[in-house]
Amino acid sequence: MARILVADDDNEQLVMQRKVLEELNYEVVTAASPAEALAEIARRSPDLTIIDLGLPQPADGLALIRQLREAGHKMPIILLSGWPDDVYGSPEEQMVSRVLMKGSVRELLQTIEELLAL
């Protein structure tokens, strides 16, 4: 069973994503802040990480991605954003596996399956 970390400061998103992913037999770990995400990753290395761009400061979603890659973590990362155009062309775009529009559950599930199949 693949382990997925979902990092989002919106509790409704965390609950919804956990429910959907657990119904598909994924083990799901959640984090409401970049600090929680880093602690969970250190505790239980996920097979895939989903990060919300709008995580709270001081370390937003892009900063979290940079920290993970600089620390040598190689797991696929899906970045979710309500405004994905803000990410395109940034250095962090090259550090993630996919940038997706937040709220597209079907596209997210399809992407998870593709990335975990690699």
Query: What does pTM read for this prediction?
Result: 0.93
Q: Is the peptide bond before 58 cis (omega within 30 degrees of 0)?
A: yes
Query: Is residue 10 included in any domain, yes or no?
Result: yes
| CA–CA gap between residue 89 and residue 40 (Å, rounded) | 29
Mean per-residue pLDDT of the chain: 91
Query: Is residue 117 included in any domain, yes or no?
Result: no
Domain count, the chain: 1
- Quick one: what percent of the chain has pLDDT higher than 70? 97
Residue 59: what pLDDT?
66
Taking residues 16-37, what's their average pLDDT? 95
Q: Which domain holds residue 39?
A: 3-112
Show Cβ contacts of residue 39 under 8 Å, excluding neighbours closer than 6 positions: 31
What is the tens place of the pLDDT at every residue in 55-110?
Answer: 887 668 889 999 999 999 999 999 998 877 777 778 888 899 999 988 889 999 99
18, two tokens: 């956990």
3-state secondary structure of 6: strand
